[in-house]
Amino acid sequence: MTEIWPGDPYPLGATYDGAGTNFALFSEAGERVELCLFDDRDHETRVAFTECDGYIWHGYLPGVGPGQRYGHRVHGPYDPARGLRCNPAKLLIDPYAKAIEGDVRWSEAVYGYRFADPETRNDSDSAAYVPRSVVINPFFGWGHDRPPATPYHDTVIYEAHVRGLTIDHPKIPERIRGTYAALGHPEIVDHLSALGVTAIELMPVHQFVTDHVLVERGLTNYWGYNTIGFFAPHNAYSSTGQRGGQVLEFKAMVRALHEAGIEVILDVVYNHTAEGSHLGPTLSMRGIDNPDYYRLVDDDQRYYMDTTGTGNSLLMRSPQVLQLIMDSLRYWVTEMHVDGFRFDLAATLARELHEVDRLSAFFDLVQQDPVLSQVKLIAEPWDVGPGGYQVGNFPGRWTEWNGRYRDVIRDLWRGQPAALPEFGSRLTGSSDLYQDDSRRPAASINFVTCHDGFTLQDLVSYDHKHNEANGEDNRDGTDDNRSWNCGVEGPATGAVEVLRERQKRNLLTTLFVSQGVPMLLHGDELGRTQHGNNNAYCQDNEISWVDWSDIEENRLLLDFTKRLARLRRDHPVFRRRRFFYGRPVRGSHDGLSDIAWLTPAGEEMTDADWNVGYARSLAVFLNGDSITEPDRRGRRISDDSFLLLFNAHHETITFTIPKDYGDLWVTEIDTAAPILIEPRPSQAGEGVPVEGRSVRVLRRV
Q: Which residues are catalytic?
A: 344, 380
Instruction: Tell me the CA distances in angstroms from 461 to 125, 415, 454, 487, 504, one per residue in order.
Output: 51, 15, 10, 8, 10
For strands 99-101 and 113-114, give the pairing.
unpaired
| Residues belonging to the chain | 701
Residue 248: C-alpha distances to residues 207, 236, 564 (Å): 15, 14, 36
Separation of alpha carbons 320 and 338, rounded Å: 24
Whether the CB-CB separation of 124 and 89 falls below 8 Å is answered with yes
- Give the DSSP H or E segment for 457: helix 456-459
Is the alpha carbon torsion for 446, 451, 457, 458 positive or negative?
negative
Q: What is the DSSP letter of 234?
A: P
Is 569:194 a contact under the CB 8 Å cutoff?
Answer: no
Q: Mapped to the 3 state alphabet, what secondary structure does 354-397 carry?
A: CCECCCCHHHHHHHHCCCHHHCEEEECCCCCCCCCCCCCCCCCC
d(CA 105, CA 89) in angstroms, rounded, equals: 16
3-state class of 564 per DSSP? helix
The CA dihedral of 177, 181, 186, 187, to the nearest 10 degrees, is: 20
C-alpha radius of gyration, the chain, whole number: 27
Q: Dihedrals φ, ψ of 524, to 5°?
A: -60, -30
Main-chain dihedrals φ then ψ at residue 595, nearest 5 degrees: -150, 145
Report the SS3 class of residue 441.
helix
| Nearest-angstrom CA–CA distance, 247 and 139 | 10
Q: Which residues of 136-162 are buried (b: 16+ CB within 10 A; e: fewer)?
A: beeebeeeeeebbebebbebbbbbbbb
Burial 340-379 (b: 16+ CB within 10 A, else e): bbbbbbbbbbbbbeeebbeebbbbebbeeeeebeebbbbb
